[in-house]
């Protein structure tokens, strides 16, 4: 039963074609046949009949009567399924797009990781070479210092021996 106090949206029930009449009885003239899921506004109720206004650009806001048993306030299953299928299709397209972007990002990251690993290896080799060079230089300088110290000690000792020999 539809309350007569205000208009609200209703639909022709699932998988039917129902008659839209000029008055609340089977004797009244049929204005149109309505398909399942067609939107309407319920305006009034009288016994087993509901007065409705058709919604839509091709329906010109016509008013008429339809049997209450064919009126539902929920969106018909067929319309809901169609809406959900379309939403599902859009979401699948969005997921595919995101997967492609993710795949491209992963490939970029793999390339950057490879480049980073190569740079790290090259830097390690460079550090090792620098360390070896520095190490060689340090040993060379140490050897030169030892040689110089030895030379100086030799000179000092050699002079002292010459002095001792001149006093004899």
Q: What does the pLDDT read at residue 130?
A: 79
Instruction: Decide the pairing of beta strands 39-46 and 8-12.
Output: antiparallel
Q: For 91-139, write each residue's pLDDT tens digit.
A: 999 999 999 999 999 999 999 999 999 988 888 888 888 777 787 888 8
Mean pLDDT of all residues in 11-40: 84
Top mean pLDDT of 5-19, 38-52, 92-106, 137-151 is at 92-106
Q: Locate the domains of the chain by residue range.
A: 8-75, 77-155
Architecture of domain 8-75: Roll (2.30)
Cα distances from 59 to residues 33, 51, 62, 73, 119, in angstroms, run 11, 15, 6, 20, 72
Q: What percent of the chain has pLDDT over 70?
A: 90
Residue 38: which of 83, 70, 3, 69 has the closest Cα?
A: 70
Q: Could you tell me the pLDDT band of residue 164, with boundaries at 50, 70 and 90? A: low
* Residue 167: C-alpha distances to residues 14, 154, 155, 156, 159 (Å): 137, 20, 19, 17, 13
- From the CA atom positions of the chain, what is the Rg in Å? 49
Task: Check residue 107 and give its pLDDT.
Answer: 92
| Residue 165: Cβ within 10 Å count | 8
């Amino acid at each position: 039963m539809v309350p007569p106090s205000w208009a609200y949206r209703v639909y022709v029930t699932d998988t039917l074609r129902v008659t839209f009449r000029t008055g609340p009885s089977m004797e009244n003239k049929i204005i149109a046949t309505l398909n399942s899921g067609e939107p309407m506004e319920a305006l009034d109720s009288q016994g087993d009949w509901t007065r409705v206004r058709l919604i839509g650009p091709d329906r010109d806001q016509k008013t008429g009567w339809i049997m209450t048993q064919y009126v539902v306030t929920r969106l018909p299953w067929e319309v809901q399924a169609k809406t959900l299928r379309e939403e599902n299709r859009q979401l699948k397209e969005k997921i595919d797009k995101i997967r492609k972007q993710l795949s491209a990002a992963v490939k970029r990251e793999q390339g950057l990781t490879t480049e980073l690993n190569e740079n790290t290896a090259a830097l390690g080799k460079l550090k090792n070479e620098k360390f070896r060079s520095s190490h060689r230089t340090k040993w060379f300088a140490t050897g030169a210092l030892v040689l110089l110290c030895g030379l100086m000690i030799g000179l000092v000792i050699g002079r002292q021996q010459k002095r001792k020999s001149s006093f004899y």
